[in-house]
Structure 1
Amino acid sequence: MEGYDMKRRRLIHWFGFFLLVAFIAVPTLGASQERKNYFTLEKSIAEALANSYKIKARAERIEQAMDIKKQARADFLPKLGTAYSYTRLSEPPVSRTSIFGTGIPLVLGTEDNYRWTWFLRQPLFTGFALISSYKLAELGIDQSQLELDLEKLDLILRVKEAYFNILGADKAVEVAKTTVESLTQTVKVARSFFEVGMIPINDVLKAEVELANAEQSLVRARNSAQTTRASFNTVLARMADTPVEVEDILVFKPEIGEYAEYEKKALENRPEIKILDVNLLQTDQQIRLAKSKYFPEISLTYQYISEGDEASVKGSPYVDANHWEVLAVANWTFWEWGKTYYAGREKESLKRQLMETKSDVEDGIRLQVKQATLDLDAAAKNIPTTLKGVNAGEENLRVNEERYKAQVSTITDLLDAQTLLARARLEYYRALYDHNLAKARLERALGSY
């Protein structure tokens, strides 16, 4: 019996221990999950870059371009190959000269002929085609890297937009909740005044209507906040319904800079311009490649040949089993009815087209920078103005609340004051949102993160 009690106490002891561990672990796991779903702007950008399918696809393009370069490099090296052939003649080849004038023809070979060749072929001159192809492959790597940089710029802007959309939506929810709380209190005050006969019933009804409208606005604001989170998760390649909380960075930080400085920086940094510069270099090599057909192609070939009248290629009475030969070969197609000429003209026209495109893109970048600086300037000017509106709205509401309690103003004045304050707060937060978003778009226009 004593042993049974001891076992029972041990069991209770261990059960208590595991229960304690569970109580400690559950809050820890919850906190870990909260940290995972809490994002700063820097963390959001890092996760988007790590998860983006488009970024991964662009990285694969770089790998492909590097493999294309290796292929082009291989064309400079000698090529080793083999060929096996069988030839059946209708009759053995003979000489036109008879043997010692006897009239008997001289047999020179057999009807069955087998040939196995090993060859080593080295290009010596290709009209600069191999060099041009190799440089094109190198430029292809540069272009793929720049396209990756461009994709990163676009992705980071989308992350910032999604991030600020959440902050803007949360501020709208905050304003809507404050408005509902204020109107709820107003309805309570109006009912108490009505019950003692100080105001008519229609004043109570007005307050209740405004409260109902505010509650509907709160529902819409919360739905909008959930939608912005789904969009944020999509940009970060996460499940759309994953919970998200973000750090509030809707603050006013003045941006100091001049348009001329911004324009110069944008034209130097934008990947779109750099890609077109690479494209122009590519057309130079394409022109050179097209004109390589004006030159002969020269190669050196070493061949080791095994022949015979049987499949084992062990020779015959007429040929040795093995022999080798070295061939220097020049191939030159010098007339193709203007094909090479027109190919060169096509690439020269492409170069002129790219130059015009580059000028157009530069004009577009200048316009983007100008628009971004104007938007940033407008948002910066709106923030102090809207903040004054909030302060005035709060004071106006306070005065109207005191006046209404003293029954020297109507409930309509009080409801109007609450509406004006809610609108002023929304305008202030919208100005902050516009300023942060304008700054993000200016950074994108400058080609920076």
Structure 2
Amino acid sequence: MKHSASIVVFIVAFFCFIPFALGASQDTEQALPQDNKMLSLTECVAIALDSSPQILYSQADIIEKEFLLGSAKKDLLPSLFFQYGYLYSPDAEPAISLEDYYSYSIGIEQPLYQGKALVTGVELGKLDLEFSRAGMTQTKNDIVLSVHEAYYNLLKSRKFEEVARQSVEERKAHLKDAQAFYNAGLIPKNDMLQSEVQLAGAEIEYLRAMNLSYMALARLNTLLRRPVETPLEVEDILKFEPSEVSWEDSVLQAKQHRPELRQSEIAVEQSEKSIILTRAPYLPAVYVSANYMKQGDNPLADDYPLLGSSEVKTAMATLEWRFWAWGQSRDKIAAAKHNVKKTQERQTELLDTIILQVREAFLDIKESEYNIGVTEKAIEQAEEDFRINQFDAQTRLSRAKISYYNALYNYRISLMRLAWATGTLTL
């Protein structure tokens, strides 16, 4: 009886424990990170931007330029200074000087004019900050483009891998049939050997496709700041939508939005303002200042036994002008003007390069659009041939599928490259 009661208690306890165990197991599973979660293209871009050291570098550069601009603005404000001094003169004449002389002073100085150097310094600080912000935009554009390229290349390489795997399976089936036909005396040995050679070739292509897939995964993981071998599932994008891009609009957008062009414009402005800074030391400089000084024969300077007051108050306006330096200013200004010409020529060269980049991306889009239509028809024809003669049409079907996927994903990459070339990728 006691034994039966123990069994009943055990069974009740067991079934009562199961829900708690299952609940704890589910909580544990929810707490574990889901490394194999399927990621979309948008999520990959967000992860790359959040974890990129290039973004952190650009942010630090912007903060640095903000502080430097603040410092340049403060150069326009008056400055305060304090000075304390002690002079020991053992041979001092008691009537005219002190053996122990103490003094301290408090003063203020305000620059009024320095050949526009101070105002130009603030303007250059603003340009430096704008240059860094344009650099941040360029960095984001580069990262977003790299993620798009890596993402689509991963999808493309996995499609190649799948086509190659299917080709191997088909070749194995063909070889099995060929061996059966050969054993039955229906085909010559050469036909069977040909099937073996074709299977070996398909296996080589499969291995090559797997290696390409591994490398594509490694590139995307690197951009996402993950170990290169981390498994990653990404959402496929197979829908094809014809583009409506215009060559004229693309060029106009590039001139308006490309951050490198804005940086080149800033560089020209900076070089022009550098002429003002170069000329400033050779122009008159005007300051006004006020000073309060106290002097005496003790550390507090509260007793001055000689003639005169222990307190001295002064106000002064100062004009400085370095009007002759053996033509040095002329040489420096001439060099600064030639630097302006250099930056203008670099700007022209950069614009030519950008137009070529836009042209290349634009033509790649048109080429990929055409290739998609052609390869779709090639797949239809190869599939029809495959239904009639599987042995001979397998290679053509595999190549047609590879060409189609290559055209489809290259088309999407070309769209992103055009957006990058026009500076509209992150707008």
Provide the TM-score with structure 1 as the length reference. 0.87
Alignment of 1:335 with 2:311, yes or no, is no
SS in 2 for 1:149: helix
The 3 A distance-change label for structure 1 pair 250 and 31 is farther
In the aligned structure 2, how far is the partner of 1:187 from the partner of 1:22? 52
Q: CA deviation at 1:8?
A: 5.6
For 2:65, give the aligned amino acid.
A
| Cα shift readout 1:191-245 (whole Å, capped 9, x = no counterpart) | 2222322223343332233223322322221222121111111112222222211
Worse overlay, 310-319 or 343-352: 310-319
The 3 A distance-change label for structure 1 pair 4 and 313 is farther
| Cα shift readout 1:233-277 (whole Å, capped 9, x = no counterpart) | 111222222221111114432112332221122111111111111
Q: Of the candidates 278, 285, 292, which is equivalent to residue 266 of structure 2?
A: 278
SS in 2 for 1:333: coil
For 2:47, give the aligned amino acid.
E
SS in 1 for 2:389: helix
Alpha-carbon contact 1:126-1:297 (below 8 Å) kept: yes
Unaligned runs of 5+ in 1: 95-106, 402-413
In the aligned structure 2, how far is the partner of 1:338 from the partner of 1:4? 111
| Equivalence for 1:380 | 369
| Equivalence for 2:301 | 313
For 2:189, give the aligned amino acid.
I
The 3 A distance-change label for structure 1 pair 4 and 125 is farther
SS in 1 for 2:36: helix
In the aligned structure 1, how far is the partner of 2:246 from the partner of 2:147? 26
The 3 A distance-change label for structure 1 pair 75 and 92 is same
| Equivalence for 1:392 | 381
| Cα shift readout 1:353-379 (whole Å, capped 9, x = no counterpart) | 111111111111111111111111111
Alpha-carbon contact 1:306-1:315 (below 8 Å) kept: no
SS in 1 for 2:325: coil
For 1:186, give the aligned amino acid.
H
After the TM superposition, which residues 185-200 of structure 1 pair with which residues of structure 2 at under 5 Å, given as runs?
185-200=173-188
Superposition CA RMSD, Å = 2.4
Worse overlay, 162-171 or 182-191: 182-191
The 3 A distance-change label for structure 1 pair 268 and 313 is same
For 1:371, give the aligned amino acid.
E
Q: CA deviation at 1:446?
A: 0.9
The 3 A distance-change label for structure 1 pair 111 and 9 is farther
In the aligned structure 1, how far is the partner of 2:73 from the partner of 2:214? 54
Alpha-carbon contact 2:271-2:343 (below 8 Å) kept: no
In the aligned structure 1, how far is the partner of 2:8 from the partner of 2:332? 97
| Equivalence for 2:14 | 12
After the TM superposition, which residues 212-251 of structure 1 pair with which residues of structure 2 at under 5 Å, given as runs?
212-251=200-239
Alpha-carbon contact 1:250-1:436 (below 8 Å) kept: no
SS in 2 for 1:208: helix
Worse overlay, 46-55 or 2-11: 2-11
SS in 2 for 1:80: strand
Alpha-carbon contact 2:253-2:424 (below 8 Å) kept: no
In the aligned structure 2, how far is the partner of 1:303 from the partner of 1:23? 79
Provide the TM-score with structure 2 as the length reference. 0.91
In the aligned structure 2, how far is the partner of 1:260 from the partner of 1:373? 11
Q: CA deviation at 1:171?
A: 0.8
Q: Of the candidates 364, 367, 372, which is equivalent to residue 353 of structure 2?
A: 364
Q: CA deviation at 1:28?
A: 4.8
| Equivalence for 1:206 | 194
| Equivalence for 2:71 | 71
In the aligned structure 2, how far is the partner of 1:378 from the partner of 1:121? 69
Worse overlay, 289-298 or 418-427: 289-298
Q: CA deviation at 1:131?
A: 0.7
In the aligned structure 2, how far is the partner of 1:31 from the partner of 1:111? 80
Residue correspondences, number: 422
| Equivalence for 2:42 | 42
Q: CA deviation at 1:127?
A: 2.0
Q: Of the candidates 377, 380, 398, which is equivalent to residue 422 of structure 1?
A: 398
Q: CA deviation at 1:173?
A: 0.6
Q: Of the candidates 258, 270, 292, which is equivalent to residue 246 of structure 2?
A: 258
| Equivalence for 2:168 | 180
Q: Of the candidates 144, 151, 158, which is equivalent to residue 146 of structure 2?
A: 158
Alpha-carbon contact 1:146-1:274 (below 8 Å) kept: yes
For 1:440, give the aligned amino acid.
M
Alpha-carbon contact 1:167-1:250 (below 8 Å) kept: no
SS in 1 for 2:115: coil
